[in-house]
Amino acid sequence: MKTDLPKISVIVPVHNVEDYLEKCITSIVCQTYTNLEIILVDDGSTDHSPQICDAWAMRDTRIKVIHQENAGAAAARNNALQLAVGEYIGFVDSDDWIADTMYHDMMEGIKETGAEAAFVGYVRILENGESKRHKYKKSGLCTREEALTSAIAGGYFVTIWNKLFSRKICVKDGNLFMFEPYICGEDEHWLVRVLININKAYLLDRDEYFWRVRNGSITYKRDAYEVRRDVYRVKRENCKLLKTVSEQVYKTAVVDQYINMYSTFVNAYVNKDDCLCRLMKEHISKYKKIYLTSNESIISKCKKLFVEIMMRLHFPIAMIKFFDSLGS
């Protein structure tokens, strides 16, 4: 092991993923970049995931295992952050896997450019085995504004798992940033808070993270009201933060969240949350001009116009009322 290399702490929250965990851990321990601290956090799993974690810790001294009562991914990552000693911090979800050169390639980019964070591309792996690749609008060295835009709307995605962060940008007032206890979107909020601290980032438009999309995961419970509400809260807080960076980054975030606000409005109506309904109407009205005048393709603008027309006609609400009347 080349101990002169900076240490990377790789944090993996684990919850009931016995069918996928071996592949995930194997992909991390087989990294060509070997100076790793691998922290597996068993978040109250009820399957064989805890035993798999412990068995790996016996095989590889770089692995540390935390066992906690089920408290969610945010709490699991926070416990790991308090234990982590690496100069760099990375995250991998326990049902995903990574290319064996991922951390080497990101560290090379950081070393060559002096960047404080690095991104790589990713592939979505659907349950039927189909893979979905993405186009990236930028690569190489970029500014803080470009890094934020690349995460929000440039193909690299507003998540933490295909990225690597210098420890120094994850700290405020001497303490590491902790994850907020959102049901969904806690990683997006953490990412924005951290990226606001950087001066430059290195983007590698090469697919090296493999994201397994499972329909049962929190992220894909699109109709769950609590999830939809938290997603909006995260995006609202992120917009506030991004407005302090630049007007352009702020507008990019507004455009990214507009459809979500509309969906949250309908979801709030179904759940009779009058307070959230009023809030969403206000925000939709406030952000409408930014959304409709954004610099995007004709197809995208047509989609936006369709959504706006649907809002004006209150078509989804009318349909909901119609079916409600059938059931009364």
DSSP state of 238: H
For residues 71 and 37, the answer to whether their CB atoms sit within 8 Å is no
Q: Could you tell me which of 124, 126, 201 has the C-alpha nearest to residue 163? A: 201
> What is the rounded average pLDDT of the residues 151-170?
95
CA-based nearest residue to 200, from 154, 253, 258, 142: 142
Answer with the residue of higher pLDDT: 283 or 198: 198
Q: Which of 153, 164, 155, 148 is nearest to 116 (CA)?
A: 164
3-class secondary-structure state, position 140: strand
At 214, is the pLDDT very low, low, confident or very high (cuts 50, 70, 90)? confident
Cα–Cα distance, 20 to 216 (Å, whole number): 14
Higher-scoring residue by pLDDT: 46, 261: 46
67-71, 262-266, 277-281 — most confident range = 67-71
How many beta carbons lie within 10 A of that of residue 85, not counting itself? Answer: 10
Q: How confident is the model at residue 289 (pLDDT cuts 50, 70, 90)?
A: confident
How confident is the model at residue 151, as a pLDDT?
A: 96
pLDDT digits 0-9 by tens, 63-92: 999 999 999 999 999 999 999 999 999 999
Q: How many CB atoms lie within 10 A of CB 129?
A: 6
% of the chain with per-residue pLDDT over 70 = 86
Of 149-158, 179-188, 201-210, 295-304, minimum mean pLDDT range:
295-304
Domain residue spans of the chain: 8-220, 225-327
The fraction of the chain above a pLDDT of 90, given in percent, is: 62
What is the CATH superfamily name and number for domain 8-220? Spore Coat Polysaccharide Biosynthesis Protein SpsA; Chain A (3.90.550.10)
Residues 202-211: tens digit of each pLDDT = 999 999 999 9
Cβ atoms of residues 164 and 118 within 8 Å: yes
**Residue 121 in this model has a pLDDT that exceeds 90:** yes
Section 48-54 average pLDDT: 98
Q: In the predicted model, what is the mean pLDDT of residues 1-7? A: 75
pLDDT for residue 221 is more than 80: no
What average pLDDT does range 128-134 have in this prediction? 90
**Residue 320 pLDDT level (bands cut at 50, 70, 90):** low
List the single range of 51-55, 305-309, 317-321, 323-327 with lowest mean pLDDT: 323-327
